């Protein structure tokens, strides 16, 4: 079928199941928008290209499908970079379509020219510069294949304007085979058998579950694994929801702001079963002290992650869903062979983790006169009852949400984990709502991150997206203030946010309802009011400014060296 390059782009996207594009037009991409005028693919016009990528991530994170964003050449493409890095760090499947100046102008400093291909090589899983219309369809189909297979990630397709205007032949995609791109799914049978042996030999096994569980759709296999093994399961920030929070074997968040039970468990385990994780520094703390008594079984689809940060005594390269499925079968067949003593030891170990949870639970801070941020998040959790998608921005509120909110299933928790990109929460909620129009979507955002993405209120209003926005407003950059208090002798600098807009007037300006509250007695009523409102709702919650997130592992500390409450200030040197 012969068609213009711009039409080929849309035809390829449609055949890949693309439902929505998050984008911002420009001169170079106008041919695509001209073809989009009478095409069925939905387009969401964001107010900044960075937010187009964040929205595509929110769509992908909440649905498991590939998110698509689009921007023009030059500043449009460069504005995508933060979102691409974010998707790469968190292994999120995104395809970014960008325009490029015509081939005869490349390298001549043409208007809105940038070396998008070169700029994005280090922040994508793969990227393309398409200079021949006959390569266009193949490049887009390959981009979706690469983004969604193996370890997911972002792929960028940069297309010159002359290609978009040229006539070319569209060929329906067949099976894609890329030389040098091999994905191992099943895992080595011998290694899986050895893992089963190591598990039954252990007295204090501990499951460390990460974002790979979510990406591979392995939640059911993880639940079965935990129940057969009867072992505690801790989750990373990206892994929350992998095992339902209310499951008796789930001990919640692990790492810098993880629970006392989770961090003590990993510090005393004799076998660490790491599933779809990368041993990042926010989990491990001081690496040489991390799980020092444990042998490590590491399952990951990306061989580059195994042994990168922590030596694996037993590496298994494969998709965690496939590997756990085979491992569960082996464990079920051999259960009871470990001997009574081992079984009793594991029962005592599980009981020990429950005792740690009771010894140091998360704070239940409350005041009759002001809204404690911890109380706000607990109320959000109570009102939602585990039935909503929650998109968080970055900062203290993100950590409190990770600590207190109970998730029943994967893909309910949307957050910027590896990059920690402020401004993420609101556009990600837009993507999540577009991908899940029948679900309740909450955006929990700090006053700092909200002001970074404030223009997207216009996007929400334009499309009538019923997102419930809760701003945790402490009048400052909360995590910056916390670190300056604890480690810089309270030398507060450049952290105060003292000019937050009038919430009611701001919401009204965009044609939505809004409200400000500052008393704890108002919280439940305001949350119910937001939920019952059929359209978007902006709730500004003034919380106690000087509250810190605990537990906290200080920079350079071991994961079991937690600050459990406010210590005396420590001054660091230059």
Please check the confidence at residue 99 and state whether its pLDDT lies above 70. Answer: yes
Q: 333, 359, 385 — which closes off a domain? A: 359
Is 178 a domain residue?
A: no
Is 560 a domain residue?
A: no
Is 296 a domain residue?
A: yes
Question: In terms of domains, do 151 and 39 share one?
Answer: yes
Is 160 a domain residue?
A: yes
Question: In terms of domains, do 292 and 221 share one?
Answer: yes
Q: Give the pLDDT mean for 535-562.
A: 95
Please check the confidence at residue 572 and state whether its pLDDT lies above 90. Answer: no
Confidence of residue 339 (pLDDT cuts 50, 70, 90): confident
Percent of the residues in the chain that have a pLDDT greater than 90, as a whole number: 94
Q: Give the pLDDT mean for 262-283.
A: 97
pLDDT at 338: 75
Q: Characterise 278 by phi-psi region: left (phi > 0), alpha (psi -120 to 50), beta (else).
A: alpha
Average pLDDT, the chain: 96
Question: In terms of domains, do 205 and 293 share one?
Answer: yes
Q: Give the pLDDT mean for 89-103.
A: 98
pLDDT at 1: 81
Q: Render 359-401 in DSSP notation, one character per residue.
A: HSPPP----SSSB-HHHHHHHHHHHHTT-SEEEE-SSHHHHHH
Q: How close are the terminal C-alpha atoms of the chain, in Å? A: 65
Please check the confidence at residue 573 and state whether its pLDDT lies above 60. Answer: no
**Cα dihedral 268/270/274/277 (nearest 10):** 40
* 201-216 CB burial, b ≥16 within 10 A, e <16: ebbbbbbbbbbbbbbb
Which one has a higher pLDDT value, 71 or 567?
71
Is 572 a domain residue?
A: no
pLDDT at 214: 98
Tokens 């791109």 belong to 181
Is 92 a domain residue?
A: yes
Residue 465 DSSP SS3 = coil
Nearest Cα to Cα of residue 252 among 402, 138, 45, 135? 402
Tokens 């949870």 belong to 357
DSSP conformational letter for 305: G
Please check the confidence at residue 239 and state whether its pLDDT lies above 80. Answer: yes
Confidence of residue 172 (pLDDT cuts 50, 70, 90): confident
CATH number of residue 198's parent domain: 3.40.50.1220
Is 549 a domain residue?
A: no
Tell me the per-residue pLDDT of 440-461, one tens digit each, with 9 for 90 and over: 999 999 999 999 999 999 999 9
pLDDT at 300: 98
Please check the confidence at residue 144 and state whether its pLDDT lies above 50. Answer: yes
Tokens 């991409």 belong to 29
Question: In terms of domains, do 140 and 271 share one?
Answer: no
Q: Give the pLDDT mean for 385-404.
A: 97
Question: In terms of domains, do 199 and 319 share one?
Answer: yes
Question: In terms of domains, do 144 and 220 share one?
Answer: no
For 332, the domain range is 189-359
C-beta of residue 148 within 8 angstroms of C-beta of residue 66: yes
Please check the confidence at residue 152 and state whether its pLDDT lies above 70. Answer: yes
Question: In terms of domains, do 513 and 431 share one?
Answer: yes
Domain count, the chain: 3
Strands 205-209 and 233-235: parallel
What's the Cα-to-Cα distance from 219 to each of 215, 239, 300, 325, 484, rounded to whole Å? 10, 10, 15, 11, 39
Please check the confidence at residue 435 and state whether its pLDDT lies above 90. Answer: yes
pLDDT at 567: 61
Tell me the per-residue pLDDT of 469-514, one tens digit each, with 9 for 90 and over: 999 999 999 999 999 999 999 999 999 999 999 999 999 999 999 9
Question: In terms of domains, do 536 and 407 share one?
Answer: yes
Question: In terms of domains, do 462 and 439 share one?
Answer: yes
Q: Give the pLDDT mean for 24-42.
A: 97
Question: In terms of domains, do 421 and 341 share one?
Answer: no
pLDDT at 574: 41
Q: CB neighbours (10 Å) of residue 501?
A: 14
Nearest Cα to Cα of residue 92 among 332, 339, 431, 566? 431
Q: Which of 30-34, 334-338, 558-562 has the lowest mean pLDDT?
A: 334-338
CATH number of residue 57's parent domain: 3.40.50.970
Is 367 a domain residue?
A: no
Q: Give the pLDDT mean for 68-73.
A: 98
Q: 169, 197, 220 — which closes off a domain? A: 169
Question: In terms of domains, do 316 and 421 share one?
Answer: no
What is d(CA 535, CA 428) in angstroms, rounded to the nearest whole number? 18
Please check the confidence at residue 302 and state whether its pLDDT lies above 80. Answer: yes
Q: Give the pLDDT mean for 155-164.
A: 98
Question: In terms of domains, do 159 and 199 share one?
Answer: no
Query: Catalytic site residues?
Result: 49, 111-112, 161, 479
pLDDT at 195: 97
Q: Give the pLDDT mean for 245-269.
A: 96
Please check the confidence at residue 536 and state whether its pLDDT lies above 80. Answer: yes
pLDDT at 336: 79
């Amino acid at each position: 079928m012969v068609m213009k390059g711009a039409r080929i782009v849309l035809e390829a996207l449609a055949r890949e199941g693309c439902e929505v594009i998050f984008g911002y037009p420009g001169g170079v991409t106008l041919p695509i928008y001209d073809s989009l005028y009478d095409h069925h693919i939905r387009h969401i016009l964001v107010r900044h290209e960075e937010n187009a990528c964040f929205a595509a991530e929110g769509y992908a994170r909440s649905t498991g499908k590939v998110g698509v964003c689009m921007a023009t050449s030059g500043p449009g493409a460069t504005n995508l970079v933060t979102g691409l890095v974010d998707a790469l760090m968190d292994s999120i499947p995104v395809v970014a379509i960008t325009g490029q100046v015509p081939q005869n102008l490349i390298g001549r400093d043409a208007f809105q020219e940038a070396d998008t291909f070169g700029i994005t090589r280090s922040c994508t899983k793969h990227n393309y510069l398409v200079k021949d219309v006959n390569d266009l369809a193949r490049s887009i189909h390959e981009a979706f294949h690469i983004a969604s297979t193996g370890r997911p990630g972002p792929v960028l397709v940069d297309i010159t304007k002359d290609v978009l205007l040229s006539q070319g032949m569209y060929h329906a995609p067949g099976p894609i085979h890329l030389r040098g791109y091999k994905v191992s799914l099943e895992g080595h049978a011998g290694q899986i058998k050895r893992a089963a042996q190591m598990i039954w030999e252990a007295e204090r096994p501990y499951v460390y579950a990460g974002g790979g569980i979510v990406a591979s759709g392995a939640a059911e296999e993880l639940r079965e694994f935990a129940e057969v093994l009867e072992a505690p399961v801790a989750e990373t920030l990206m892994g929350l929801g992998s095992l339902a929070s209310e499951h008796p074997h789930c001990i919640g968040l692990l790492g810098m702001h993880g629970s006392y039970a989770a961090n003590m468990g990993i510090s005393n385990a004799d076998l660490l079963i790491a599933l779809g994780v990368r041993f990042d520094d926010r989990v491990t703390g001081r690496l040489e002290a991390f799980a020092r008594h444990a042998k490590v079984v590491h399952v990951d689809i990306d061989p580059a992650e195994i042994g990168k940060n922590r030596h694996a005594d037993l590496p298994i390269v494969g998709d965690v869903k496939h590997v756990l499925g085979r491992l569960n079968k082996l464990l079920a067949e051999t259960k009871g062979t470990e001997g009574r003593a081992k079984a009793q030891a594991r029962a005592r170990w599980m009981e020990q983790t429950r005792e740690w949870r009771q010894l140091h639970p998360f704070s239940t801070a409350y005041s009759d006169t002001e809204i404690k941020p911890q109380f706000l998040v607990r109320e959000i959790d109570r009102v939602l009852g585990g039935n909503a998608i929650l998109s968080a921005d970055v900062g203290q509120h993100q950590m409190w949400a990770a600590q207190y909110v109970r998730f029943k299933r994967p893909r309910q928790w949307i957050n910027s984990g590896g990059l920690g990109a402020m401004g993420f929460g609101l556009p990600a909620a837009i993507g999540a709502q577009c991908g899940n129009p029948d679900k309740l979507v909450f955006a929990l955002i700090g006053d700092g991150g909200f002001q970074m993405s404030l223009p997207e209120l216009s996007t929400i209003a334009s499309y009538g997206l019923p997102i419930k926005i809760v701003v945790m407003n402490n009048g400052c950059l909360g995590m910056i203030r916390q670190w300056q208090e604890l480690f810089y002798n309270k030398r507060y600098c450049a952290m105060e946010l003292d000019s937050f807009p009038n919430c009611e007037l701001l919401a009204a300006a965009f044609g939505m309802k809004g409200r400000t509250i500052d008393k704890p007695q108002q919280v439940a009523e305001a949350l119910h009011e937001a939920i019952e409102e059929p359209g978007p709702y902006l709730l500004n919650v003034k919380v106690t400014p000087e509250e810190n997130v605990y537990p906290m592992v200080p920079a350079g500390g071991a994961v079991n060296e937690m600050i459990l409450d406010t210590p005396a200030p420590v001054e660091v040197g230059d």
